Structure 1
Amino acid sequence: EADLELAATSIVASAFGFSGQKCSACSRAVIVEDVYDQVLNRAVELTNELTQGDPTDPNNYMATVIDQSAYNKIMSYIEIGKKEGKLMTGGEGDDSKGYFIKPTIFADLDPEARIMKEEIFGPVVGFTKAKDFDHAIEIANNTEYGLTGAVITNNRKNIEKAREDFHVGNLYFNRGCTGAIVGYQPFGGFNMSGTDSKAGGPDYIQL
């Protein structure tokens, strides 16, 4: 009931665009167990195709993280992730010339793992299994943050459930969790991510 290729491409684009250094980046992927392996393996394949290097070269998809402090923090979370889950790709960094961190995917994480609940703000995404769609929403809400989220499904019932129960400020369907045009579309979060929409065009009613 979902486009699995779309799910994988959306996760990779949302997690690793701008090297994961944006507030709306994807840091957690909650996948129902029936299709978990398919989505995970495809996301790993796509991630391994990403190019990284000089940001002025348009052939490079990713560049560096912003500074030494960010590099150190992200690499420390990667070490935590190696203990909490299964490293599928990435997990390496090089700060000898710039602050390069390879796009990193961890799999088979407990929903309570630190890298599933704390803000990393870098090119790291964790995968966890859900028993079904209801369980996936429960896991997704199990965080103190709530800025953006995305749901990949063709099931109308699941779409309506997510609209009611997924506690995020910006919710996307059948696309990645980044890309709102701030100034036109409402943008803001819940919980530690803010108090509803703070930006948006005049055609929207603010919460």
Structure 2
Amino acid sequence: MVTDEYPLTVHIKLPNGVEYDQPTGLFINGEFTKSKQGKTFEVVSPSTEEIVCSVYEALEEDVNAAVDAAENAFKNTEWATQDPSVRGRCLLKLADLVEQHAEVLAGIESLDNGKSLFCSRGDVALCSAYFRSCAGYADKVDGRIIDTGSNHLSYTRREPIGVCGQIIPWNFPLLMASWKLGPCLATGNVTVLKTAESTPLSALYLCNLLNEAGFPPGVVNIISGFGKTTGDVIALHPKVRKLAFTGSTATGRHIMKRAAESNLKKVTLELGGKSPNIIFNDADIAKAAQNMIIGIFYNSGEVCCAGSRIYCQSGIYDELLVEFKKAIANLKVGDPFDETTFQGSQTSQLQLDRILNYIDVGKKEGAQLITGGERIGGKGYFIKPTIFGNVHEEMRIVKEEIFGPVVTITKFETVDEVIELANNSEYGLAAGLHTEDINKAIDVSNRLKAGTVWVNTYNDFHSSVPFGGYAQSGIGREMGIEAFDNYTQVKAVRIKIDKKKA
């Protein structure tokens, strides 16, 4: 829709009574602005299928304006060269502001994404914690002195890259924005961040907090738009020197090609997964069942590292399945603003249809539908938590990422057998295992081909612990000290010492 009349802010009252003003414009050079062509698109609440508002859509000329603002901030302000503690203070202030606005931000996520308030509040808490963690790193990005003998002084510097393009997904809009912005800003870079078209609202609200926290105009630019238009322009833009993307593996491949076609941008990718969750005979069955719930049904199953392949050792298979089904029966699916809801809606009609199609595929392939497998109600994108048994490794529901509340469960006998099953995947993002034997835990963790291994827990994140994948699950790491390597480049300086003049 093209209009010059749509406002840059709309007042929204959330279903839980919280009211706030929602920005709708493009955040460029510290201000909200309409797109140059006045084009907008609608944002739909997935739990009600009702239109929330419209936001302005960035096209090529808008991306160019955002990149120019970022480049100017990098070249013509002291953001990249000042005492790094100043950047740290901005990030600390931003963390405080996220906490102060926590209920509004959580409500926006539940409205826009469909996730339960339980999940949204967890996202907001992780977001503020990560900004605070990055603030602590800001003045600790350093180089080293290299001893090459007395005739030279050799040392390294870690310097910012410049203008970064960042493209975030729709499953964790605010949290993924923090994972991208935190290390980028702590190291003195500037950015143009594109929101996911289905969930732009929380990142746009964050823009007001960025201004209040003291980030100079142009350092952070946040725009809304679609992958094939806005995202592609960012990926191809010659002034963008670093590209960070979180999303599907298929799109990640496209992003890499675009980066190579333009200017060989540095690229980090956090992509898909089909993660195994292994339950051994000596596991605490009740705790394992709860971790299986968190592993696959948290955030409506829309988690890249979801434990979507459960492997259970034969000695406890029947008992665990009973406990798992009982836990699912107590899991409330529905209105994300109901304080007792655990699983909200899927994020879009497209994702709902994709999940239901995979459920049909599973049935046709001969898998046993143990529970779930149906849409709930006629309005809102809700699906019952679904378990498939009697599966084999070549079934699509075992091999392909579904990205929803659908899990397969397979029986195994030995450690060697389950290691082979778990590693039989094109992905390698995460894995879980449950055992009371520390020797087994260490041995199996070492043999799993995954970027993260959780032991007796699942989907358990911390700002200081890196996250990222093996194989087709991506390149680079989010969080931890490793994330800062993504946003700096190493300069070696070697000075010849003239001893005759000393």
Question: Structure 2 length as normaliser, TM-score?
Answer: 0.39
Q: Does 1:198 align with 2:480?
A: no
118-127 vs 129-138, greater mean Cα deviation: 129-138
What is the DSSP-based 3-state SS (H/G/I as helix, E as strand, rest coil) of the residue aligned with 2:409? strand
What is the DSSP-based 3-state SS (H/G/I as helix, E as strand, rest coil) of the residue aligned with 2:408? strand
Please give the per-residue CA displacement for 1:90-139, whole angstroms capped at 9, x wherever unaligned.
11014731111111011121122211110000000100111212211111
Q: Does 1:50 align with 2:345?
A: no
Q: Does 1:185 align with 2:465?
A: yes
What does 1:61-80 align with in structure 2 at a 5 Å threshold? Answer: 61-80=342-361
Residues 205 and 37 from structure 1, CA distance in 2 versus in 1: closer, same or farther, beyond 3 angstroms?
Answer: farther
Residue 4 of structure 1: how far off its partner (Å): 1.5
Q: Distance in 2 between matches of 1:68 and 1:95?
A: 14
Question: What is the CA RMSD across the aligned residues, in angstroms?
Answer: 1.9
Q: Distance in 2 between matches of 1:19 and 1:149?
A: 19
Q: Does 1:98 align with 2:377?
A: no
Residue 205 of structure 1: how far off its partner (Å): 10
CA contact (8 A) 2:477 2:483 kept: no
Percent identity, aligned pairs only?
A: 37
Q: Distance in 2 between matches of 1:203 and 1:97?
A: 43
**For structure 2, which runs of at least 5 residues remain unmatched after alignment?**
1-281, 486-502
Residue 16 of structure 1: how far off its partner (Å): 0.4
What does 1:43-192 align with in structure 2 at a 5 Å threshold? Answer: 43-83=324-364, 84-94=366-376, 96-176=378-458, 178-181=459-462, 183-192=463-472
Correspondence for 1:6: 287
Q: What count of residue pairs does the alignment treat as equivalent?
A: 203
Residues 99 and 156 from structure 1, CA distance in 2 versus in 1: closer, same or farther, beyond 3 angstroms?
Answer: same
Residues 12 and 117 from structure 1, CA distance in 2 versus in 1: closer, same or farther, beyond 3 angstroms?
Answer: same
Residue 71 of structure 1: how far off its partner (Å): 0.5
- 1:21 aligned to which of 299, 302, 306: 302
Bigger fraction of residues in strand: 2
CA contact (8 A) 1:20 1:26 kept: no
Q: Distance in 1 between matches of 2:409 and 2:429?
A: 19
Q: Structure 2: which amino acid aligns with 1:103?
A: P
Correspondence for 2:74: none
Residues 112 and 33 from structure 1, CA distance in 2 versus in 1: closer, same or farther, beyond 3 angstroms?
Answer: farther
CA contact (8 A) 2:374 2:383 kept: yes
Q: Structure 1: which amino acid aligns with 2:337?
A: T
Residue 200 of structure 1: how far off its partner (Å): 2.6
Q: Structure 1: which amino acid aligns with 2:445?
A: R
CA contact (8 A) 1:52 1:62 kept: yes
Q: Structure 2: which amino acid aligns with 1:72?
A: D
What is the DSSP-based 3-state SS (H/G/I as helix, E as strand, rest coil) of the residue aligned with 2:342? coil
Please give the per-residue CA displacement for 1:73-93, whole angstroms capped at 9, x wherever unaligned.
100111122233211111101
Q: Distance in 2 between matches of 1:80 and 1:203?
A: 39
Q: Structure 2: which amino acid aligns with 1:14?
A: G
Correspondence for 2:268: none
Question: Which runs of structure 1 show a deviation greater than 6 angstroms over 4 or more consecutive aligned residues?
Answer: 203-206
Q: Distance in 2 between matches of 1:65 and 1:205?
A: 33
Residues 35 and 68 from structure 1, CA distance in 2 versus in 1: closer, same or farther, beyond 3 angstroms?
Answer: same
Q: Which has the higher contact order (CA 8 A, sep 6+)?
A: 1
What is the DSSP-based 3-state SS (H/G/I as helix, E as strand, rest coil) of the residue aligned with 1:199? coil
Q: Structure 2: which amino acid aligns with 1:201?
A: G
Please give the per-residue CA displacement for 1:127-174, whole angstroms capped at 9, x wherever unaligned.
011121221111111111111111101123321221221011010111
**For structure 1, which runs of at least 5 residues remain unmatched after alignment?**
none
Residues 131 and 54 from structure 1, CA distance in 2 versus in 1: closer, same or farther, beyond 3 angstroms?
Answer: same
Q: Structure 2: which amino acid aligns with 1:51?
A: K
What is the DSSP-based 3-state SS (H/G/I as helix, E as strand, rest coil) of the residue aligned with 1:129? strand
Correspondence for 2:25: none
What is the DSSP-based 3-state SS (H/G/I as helix, E as strand, rest coil) of the residue aligned with 1:187? coil
Q: Structure 2: which amino acid aligns with 1:85?
A: A
Q: Distance in 2 between matches of 1:86 and 1:45?
A: 18
Q: Structure 2: which amino acid aligns with 1:100?
A: F
Residues 2 and 89 from structure 1, CA distance in 2 versus in 1: closer, same or farther, beyond 3 angstroms?
Answer: same
What is the DSSP-based 3-state SS (H/G/I as helix, E as strand, rest coil) of the residue aligned with 1:188? coil
CA contact (8 A) 2:427 2:470 kept: yes
